[in-house]
Structure formats: structure tokens, C-alpha cells
Amino acid sequence: MKRMLTPSLLLVLLAGCQAAPTGENSVARAEERDAATTVAVVDTAEQAASEDFDAWLSRFRQEARAEGISASTLSRALEGLRYRPRVIELDRSQPEFVRPIWQYLDSAVSATRVTNGRQRLDAHRDTAREMERRYGVPPEVIVAIWGIESNYGSNFGDFSTLEALATLAFDGRRHDFARAELLAALRILDKGDITPDRMLGSWAGAMGHTQFMPSSFEAYAVDGDGDGRRDIWGSIPDVMASTAHYLDRASWQPGQPWGVEVRLPDGFDYAQTELTHRQSSHEWAERGVQTLSGDPLPDFTAASVLVPGGAEGPAFLVGPNFRAILRYNNATSYALAVGTLADEIAGREGVVQGWPREQQPLSRRQVREMQHLLNQRGFEVGDPDGIMGPNTRRGLREFQAAIGTTPDGFATLSLLQRLQR
């Protein structure tokens, strides 16, 4: 991927060699020279990276051949493969501000997405029901994952999976992981499930309508339409079968809900609101946890109570199927979005209790500062990393208890300000 300086860029660079003008023109010319220099430096760096990438790819081709990938597949897949700087840019970028869960759900479970989900379910109901018969996963859950992952196929990415993974294997933060996924992608091509030009997805290598990584594709993708190929890019039966099979292998329990919104009693111990803290529904009921409707709690043998918006937000009792969704994407907000979107697609009620929308979310820098200050005050949370994990929530609950506020472990700007004082 060698790039040459354009004639217009050469003119700008040559202009920098002339006598320096005065006044506003001087400033404008200086800005042009700075911009041109930046473009030239980036251009040169990309060219060097591309040349190094070509050498790496040549070595990788030999290694892949030694690991059993056919010569014909390697020729089809790797010929003309490009280094993609944009992939590295996206891999290394980390947003400073993280959306609060209610903003994420507003988008993930919007009225439009619910309506579109019902339409997709109506259009593919027979297929979805067949997958439920095979794997025990309800149609609305299959469709909800489809909606969250790619907005029902309208946005599963247009990056070449091979180029994205090769770039990450060459120059990424987790190059060993990316290399293993690239080999998995080549094995998929070797088996004839898809052609290289149709193997498209996200910059991180997730593919198709429901965003399988190549290793997940190898383990869980299913031929749902009986044509002998597993096509999660173009065959909706294959998409639905593969998604349901994934959840089945993640220990989905047929006939059980993912969870239910609940009301917590006064004086509830929020130290128990972690996924790792599990009790039976009977035990939670004895502690005063109730459904909003007053109906009995779902019959879970191992359930957790979650309060992702703190004591002022809604509470949920979640069971094994919530944990199965987490196997698909290990984020509480994701699993909650899938569960509530599935409920609304099926005509059930969504989240009822209000979120604390007046609370201002903390940036990663502010979370790191909070972690540092908690450590300073003796509420040990580990190395500051800007992520609100269980250790940070535990330390924050201890601080809240010490100052006489509800110890729910929910980070707010007012708590950070208390720590700063």
C-alpha cells in the first residue's frame, strides 16, 4: 500500500521553501505547511507500516500453511490483503465518557427497534419457532440478539474480516488473539462456508448478522437451511439456528425467563447486588424481594439481584438465562438490553421503574480519580483503571456507609466531590 505525494501536496511543500511572507498570509501559509507536513509524516508512516505488514503477511502465510490451511485458500484469502490503519485507530481509541445504562437502553430498546423486531419476527416466525424446538430458545430472544448486534442486519459492518484480523495480528494490542482468530477465519474459508469477499463484519473481526468471532463461528455456527453451508451473512435460518445454538451451549434453560423487575425492601443490603452473589428465589423472597405485580418470583435455584442504576433506579432478579446472554457479550447493560427488547417484542412490559436520569455520568478519568481517592482513604479497590468493577463498587459502598448515605455502590459526581473534599 505505497502512497505517493500528490501534485497539490508537493506544491504546498515547495511553498514552504520560499521566503516567508508577512501578515495574515504568513499565518495561513504556515498553517498550510504544518498541515502538509502532518499529511506527509502520516503518509510515510502508513507506507512503512504497509511494507512491514507485507513482510509479516508473507511469514504468516508460511505458518498458516504449516498449520494445515490449503494453498488454494491462502491464495484466495491473502492475495492483495491490505494493512488497514483505521482498524488500529479504532482498536486504540477508548471513549473518555461512557454512556449511563439508561441512555444505552434508550437506543438499544427504542420504539423503532421494538417495532422492527416484531416485523422481523412476523416475517421469520416459522424459522424462529423451529429453532426454539431444536434449542429451547424463544423466538423473541433470537430476534432481540439480532436487533442488538446488527440492527437486524442493517449494520453488521463492511470491514473485510481477513484484513481487520490480519491488521490486528500484525499491529494490535492483542496480536496473539487476533492471529488465532485469523487462522479460524481461514479454516472457515477452507470448509467452503463463505467466500473471502463476503466475509465482512466489524473492525474487531466480529462477523455477520449476529456478530460471531471466527472461533465462535467454528464452535457454534449451524446450517439452518440445509444447504450444506453455515452462512450468517445471507441466510436467516442459519443466523437464527447459530444464535440459538450458541445460547443453548451457554446453558440456556428452556421455559425460564431471563429475569424480572423487582421491588426491594427498605434497608436492603446492597452488598448483595453482584452477579456473583446467588440465592434461590425462595431465599430472595424471604428477604422481602417482590415482583412489581405481586406475582411470585420466577423459580430460580440460583438468582442474583442487580441495581445497575443504583438504589434510585430499577432493580432486577436475574437467573441462568441472563448469565447465558452474558456469555454472548459479557456486559450487564447488553444482557439487560437483550432481555428487555425480547420482552417488548413479545408484547410484555419493559422496564417500569424510572432511572436516575438527573445523575451526571463520570468520565473514565473521574472514575480513576475516585478509585485513587478511595485507596487513599483506606477503602482498597485495587489499581485505578477507570472501570467500575466489583472491587470499586465494594470500596464505594464502604465509603457510602461511612458517610451515612445509601451504600449502593453507584458512582455519582456528588460522591466524587465528597471524596475530593
Query: What is the four-CA torsion angle of 175, 181, 185, 191, rounded to 10 degrees?
Result: 140
> Tens of pLDDT along 374-408?
999 999 999 999 999 999 999 999 999 999 999 99
Supply the pLDDT for residue 35: 54
Tell me the pLDDT of the chain averaged across its residues.
Answer: 90
Strand partners, 363: 97
Strand segments, DSSP code E, in 86-227 are 159-160, 200-201
How far is residue 15's CA from residue 31's CA, in Å, rounded to a whole number? Answer: 12
Map grid coordinates 431471563 to a residue: 258
29 falls in which pLDDT band (50, 70, 90)? low
Are 339 and 349 spatial neighbours (Cβ–Cβ below 8 Å)? no
DSSP output for 61-119 = HHHHHHTT--HHHHHHHHTT----HHHHHHHH---SB---HHHHHHHHT-HHHHHHHHH
Residue 38 has pLDDT above 90, yes or no: no
Supply the pLDDT for residue 97: 73
Supply the pLDDT for residue 7: 38
164 contact partners, CB below 8 Å, separation of at least 6: 84, 87, 201, 202, 203, 204, 205
> Against a cut of 0.95, is the pTM above it?
no
Strand, helix or coil at 222?
coil
Query: What is the four-CA torsion angle of 106, 288, 332, 280, rounded to 10 degrees?
Result: -140
Supply the pLDDT for residue 151: 97
The residue extents of the domains of the chain are 364-420
Distance of CA 389 to the CA centre of its chain: 16
**Average pLDDT of span 183-189:** 98
How far is residue 410's CA from residue 377's CA, in Å, rounded to a whole number? Answer: 18
- What cell numbers appear for 229 in the block? 453451508
Map grid coordinates 445471507 to a residue: 234
**Strands 290-291 vs 159-160: parallel, antiparallel or unpaired:** unpaired
> Tens of pLDDT along 198-252?
999 999 999 999 999 999 999 999 999 999 999 999 999 999 999 999 999 999 9
Are 313 and 354 spatial neighbours (Cβ–Cβ below 8 Å)? yes
Q: Minimal CA–CA distance to 57: which of 206, 192, 169?
A: 169
- Give, rounded to a whole angstrom, the gap between the first and last alpha carbons of the chain: 55
- What cell numbers appear for 235 in the block? 441466510
Supply the pLDDT for residue 28: 52
Are 249 and 266 spatial neighbours (Cβ–Cβ below 8 Å)? no
**Would you tell me how many other CB atoms lie within 10 Å of the CB of residue 296?**
11
**Average pLDDT of span 334-356:** 97
> Tens of pLDDT along 145-158?
999 999 999 999 99
- List the helix and strand counts (H, then E) for the chain: 18, 6
Strand partners, 317: 260, 305
Q: Minimal CA–CA distance to 412: which of 366, 375, 373?
A: 366
- What cell numbers appear for 208 in the block? 455477520
- What cell numbers appear for 219 in the block? 464452535
- Phi/psi at 83 (5° precision): -75, 130
Strand partners, 316: 261, 306
Are 115 and 350 spatial neighbours (Cβ–Cβ below 8 Å)? no
Residue 294 has pLDDT above 70, yes or no: yes
**Strands 259-263 vs 200-201: parallel, antiparallel or unpaired:** unpaired
**Would you tell me how many other CB atoms lie within 10 Å of the CB of residue 9?**
15
